Protein backbone atom coordinates (compact mmCIF):
# COMPACT_ATOMS: atom_id res chain seq x y z
CA UNK A 1 0.00 0.00 0.00
CA UNK A 2 1.38 3.40 -0.98
CA UNK A 3 0.31 6.65 0.65
CA UNK A 4 1.61 9.97 -0.69
CA UNK A 5 2.14 12.63 1.95
CA UNK A 6 2.27 15.93 0.04
CA UNK A 7 2.83 18.11 3.12
CA UNK A 8 3.15 18.07 6.90
CA UNK A 9 -0.58 18.83 7.11
CA UNK A 10 -1.32 15.47 5.43
CA UNK A 11 0.54 13.38 8.06
CA UNK A 12 -2.51 12.84 10.32
CA UNK A 13 -4.54 11.42 7.42
CA UNK A 14 -1.64 9.14 6.46
CA UNK A 15 -1.42 8.03 10.10
CA UNK A 16 -5.12 7.11 10.06
CA UNK A 17 -4.53 4.97 6.97
CA UNK A 18 -1.50 3.40 8.63
CA UNK A 19 -3.53 2.63 11.78
CA UNK A 20 -6.16 0.90 9.62
CA UNK A 21 -3.48 -1.10 7.80
CA UNK A 22 -1.92 -2.21 11.10
CA UNK A 23 -5.31 -3.24 12.48
CA UNK A 24 -6.15 -5.16 9.30
CA UNK A 25 -2.79 -6.96 9.37
CA UNK A 26 -3.31 -8.47 12.80
CA UNK A 27 0.36 -7.78 13.53
CA UNK A 28 1.65 -5.88 16.56
CA UNK A 29 5.21 -5.06 15.44
CA UNK A 30 5.72 -2.19 13.02
CA UNK A 31 9.20 -1.65 11.54
CA UNK A 32 9.62 2.01 10.53
CA UNK A 33 12.36 2.55 7.98
CA UNK A 34 13.60 5.80 6.53
CA UNK A 35 16.64 8.01 6.46
CA UNK A 36 17.51 10.39 9.27
CA UNK A 37 15.05 13.26 9.18
CA UNK A 38 12.50 11.42 7.02
CA UNK A 39 9.81 11.96 9.64
CA UNK A 40 9.53 8.60 11.39
CA UNK A 41 8.93 10.16 14.81
CA UNK A 42 6.49 12.68 13.32
CA UNK A 43 4.57 9.78 11.81
CA UNK A 44 4.63 7.91 15.14
CA UNK A 45 3.34 11.03 16.91
CA UNK A 46 0.41 11.26 14.46
CA UNK A 47 -0.25 7.51 14.68
CA UNK A 48 -0.33 7.66 18.46
CA UNK A 49 -2.78 10.59 18.32
CA UNK A 50 -4.98 8.48 16.02
CA UNK A 51 -4.85 5.66 18.58
CA UNK A 52 -5.93 7.97 21.40
CA UNK A 53 -2.57 8.40 23.12
CA UNK A 54 -2.77 11.53 25.27
CA UNK A 55 0.90 11.62 26.33
CA UNK A 56 3.49 13.82 24.67
CA UNK A 57 5.03 11.53 22.04
CA UNK A 58 8.71 12.17 21.47
CA UNK A 59 11.69 10.33 20.07
CA UNK A 60 13.11 7.75 22.47
CA UNK A 61 16.60 8.38 21.08
CA UNK A 62 18.23 8.49 24.51
CA UNK A 63 15.73 6.43 26.50
CA UNK A 64 15.59 3.85 23.65
CA UNK A 65 12.03 2.86 24.66
CA UNK A 66 9.01 5.05 25.40
CA UNK A 67 5.74 3.57 26.64
CA UNK A 68 2.39 5.22 26.03
CA UNK A 69 -1.22 4.14 26.58
CA UNK A 70 -3.74 4.17 23.76
CA UNK A 71 -7.35 5.31 24.16
CA UNK A 72 -8.28 1.88 25.54
CA UNK A 73 -5.45 1.88 28.10
CA UNK A 74 -3.30 -0.64 26.21
CA UNK A 75 0.47 -0.15 26.04
CA UNK A 76 2.05 1.25 22.90
CA UNK A 77 5.83 0.82 22.81
CA UNK A 78 8.01 3.15 20.74
CA UNK A 79 11.61 2.11 20.14
CA UNK A 80 14.49 4.05 18.62
CA UNK A 81 17.23 1.52 17.91
CA UNK A 82 19.60 4.00 16.23
CA UNK A 83 22.01 4.06 19.17
CA UNK A 84 22.15 0.28 19.58
CA UNK A 85 25.39 -1.24 18.39
CA UNK A 86 24.04 -4.76 17.92
CA UNK A 87 21.03 -7.02 18.17
CA UNK A 88 22.71 -8.53 21.24
CA UNK A 89 22.48 -5.15 22.96
CA UNK A 90 18.78 -5.08 22.07
CA UNK A 91 18.38 -8.59 23.46
CA UNK A 92 19.93 -7.48 26.76
CA UNK A 93 17.30 -4.70 26.90
CA UNK A 94 14.56 -7.31 26.50
CA UNK A 95 13.33 -6.15 23.09
CA UNK A 96 12.20 -9.65 22.08
CA UNK A 97 9.89 -9.78 25.10
CA UNK A 98 8.29 -6.49 24.04
CA UNK A 99 7.92 -7.78 20.47
CA UNK A 100 6.27 -10.97 21.76
CA UNK A 101 3.91 -9.08 24.10
CA UNK A 102 1.13 -8.69 21.55
CA UNK A 103 1.03 -4.96 22.21
CA UNK A 104 1.79 -2.43 19.50
CA UNK A 105 5.54 -1.99 19.05
CA UNK A 106 6.70 0.86 16.78
CA UNK A 107 10.36 0.29 15.92
CA UNK A 108 12.52 3.01 14.37
CA UNK A 109 15.84 1.80 12.84
CA UNK A 110 14.68 -1.84 12.82
CA UNK A 111 17.68 -3.07 10.81
CA UNK A 112 19.83 -2.66 13.94
CA UNK A 113 17.79 -5.36 15.71
CA UNK A 114 16.65 -7.37 12.67
CA UNK A 115 17.47 -10.73 14.28
CA UNK A 116 15.09 -9.96 17.15
CA UNK A 117 12.12 -8.95 15.00
CA UNK A 118 9.36 -11.48 14.46
CA UNK A 119 8.95 -12.85 10.92
CA UNK A 120 5.41 -11.46 10.80
CA UNK A 121 5.32 -7.69 11.02
CA UNK A 122 4.25 -4.53 9.24
CA UNK A 123 7.11 -2.84 7.41
CA UNK A 124 6.72 0.89 6.80
CA UNK A 125 9.10 2.75 4.52
CA UNK A 126 9.09 6.53 4.65
CA UNK A 127 10.88 8.17 1.72
CA UNK A 128 11.66 11.86 1.38
CA UNK A 129 10.26 13.15 -1.92
CA UNK A 130 10.56 16.90 -1.30
CA UNK A 131 11.09 19.52 1.42
CA UNK A 132 7.79 18.59 3.14
CA UNK A 133 6.56 15.69 1.01
CA UNK A 134 7.04 12.00 1.73
CA UNK A 135 6.01 8.66 0.30
CA UNK A 136 4.76 6.04 2.74
CA UNK A 137 4.87 2.38 1.67
CA UNK A 138 3.26 -0.23 3.91
CA UNK A 139 4.04 -3.93 3.52
CA UNK A 140 2.50 -6.66 5.63
CA UNK A 141 5.13 -9.39 5.96
CA UNK A 142 3.75 -12.83 6.79
Would you kindly state where each structural domain of the chain is located, as residue ranges?
2-141
pTM, two decimal places: 0.93
Report helix angle 11-25 to 40-50, nearest 10: 70
State pLDDT tens for residues 8-35. Answer: 999 999 999 999 999 999 999 999 999 9
List all residues 6 or more positions away from 87 whose beta carbon is below 8 Å from its beta carbon: 112, 113, 114, 115, 116
Residue 140 confidence class, pLDDT cut points 50, 70, 90 = confident
Is 87 in contact with 111 (CB distance < 8 Å)? no
- Residue 127: count of CB within 10 angstroms of its CB: 15
Is the domain 2-141 a CATH 3.40.50.300 member? Answer: yes
Taking 80 as the threshold, does the pLDDT of residue 142 lie above it? Answer: no
Amino acid sequence: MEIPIPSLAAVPEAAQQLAAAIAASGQSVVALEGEMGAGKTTLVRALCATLGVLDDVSSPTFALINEYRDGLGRPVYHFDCYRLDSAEEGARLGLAEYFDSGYLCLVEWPARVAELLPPQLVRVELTVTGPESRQLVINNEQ
